[in-house]
Structure 1
Amino acid sequence: MKFLEFLGKRPPAAAPGPAPAPASAATASERGHAAEDLALAHLQAAGLQLVARNYRTPGRGGGEIDLVLRERDRTLVFVEVRNRSHGAFGGAGGSIGATKQRRIIFAAQHYLRRLPAPPPCRFDVVLVQEQEPVQWIKAAFEAQ
């Protein structure tokens, strides 16, 4: 730095903090919502009907279900949508661990308690990954 000052030039000022994201870059929330839209369109094209979206249990420590749909045979389908930009670290499917499954199951149990007679149900996962077709995994895990 002293050498540049000697030459009569000032060093470039350091930016305070990280560089801002470009205006065109979507937020994580926007990317997640877009992935849910894509998953929903995929499932509706297969004949499922939307019942609820982003169902959350009240209070802290609960769970959330991205999509709740109904099959033609009346089976209630709780869907977790996972979105990843690449396949590193297991891709979209690699991010659904035991803790996430427990939270989804907890939210599904909460949802089912509202119904007079719970229908048959299952837990599906839809994987949305850039440059890959949408992948629908039926009965991806079970309530234990």
Structure 2
Amino acid sequence: MNLFNRRRQGYHYESLAEQYLQRQGLTSVARNIHCRGGELDLIMKDGGCWVFIEVKFRAHNRYGSAAEAIDWRKQQRVKRAALYWLHSQGLSAEHCQLRFDVVAIQGDDRHITWLTNTLVEE
């Protein structure tokens, strides 16, 4: 699959995840934030809490589930990107509620699993 199609597929699954989370009561803030050292798929608010969401799709689990694809290294990149984004907004992680979630979309039926507060500390 070429880069254009992969990017379009990524946007599609991020949109599915965003719609799902909105139905759960979260509010959209931003999508596809790129910065040095990382990318944030979705930024949402859950009440007063900033939620940084990694979206992962797997058509099958031959190489592991969608959730298993979010390894420690990927979590650290998301964390760095989130801290950078907060700083760019004039916010401090020490003075904000924040969490890191994963939305895993799996299989032909596009089953959605929402995992909250998933960050593993260093």
The reply to whether TM is greater than 0.5 is: yes
Larger radius of gyration: 1
Asked whether 1:135 is paired with 2:118, we answer no
State the partner residue of 1:71: 46
In structure 2, list runs of 5 or more residues that go unmatched: none
1:49, distance to aligned residue in structure 2 (A) = 0.6
Q: Which is helix-richer, 1 or 2?
A: 2
Name the CA distance, whole Å, in 1 between partners of 2:64 and 2:81: 25
Deviations 1:9-49 (Å, cap 9, x if unpaired)? xxxxxxxxxxxx7xxxx922121111101000000001111
Q: What RMSD in Å do the two structures reach over aligned CA positions?
A: 1.8
Please, which runs of 5 or more residues in structure 1 have no aligned partner? 1-20
Q: Secondary structure at the match of 1:30?
A: helix
Structure 1-normalised TM-score? 0.74
The one of 62, 83, 99 equivalent to 1:122 is 99
Q: Among the aligned pairs, what percent are the same residue? A: 34
Matches within 5 A, 1:85-100: 85-100=59-74
Structure 1 runs of 4+ with >4 Å offset? none
- Separation in structure 2 between the aligned mates of residue 116 and residue 142 of structure 1, nearest angstrom: 25
> How far apart, CA to CA, are the structure 2 residues paired with 1:117 and 1:33?
27
Task: Tell me the distance in 1 between the aligned counterparts of 2:7 and 2:65.
Answer: 18
Q: TM-score, normalised by structure 2?
A: 0.86
Deviation at residue 110 of structure 1 after TM alignment: 0.2
Aligned to 1:54: 32
Q: CA separation in 1, counterparts of 2:90 and 2:32?
A: 21
Q: Which AA in structure 2 matches 1:108?
A: A
Which structure carries more relative contact order (alpha carbon 8 Å, separation 6+)?
A: 2
Mark the CA change 1:28 to 1:133 in structure 2 (over 3 Å): closer, same or farther: same
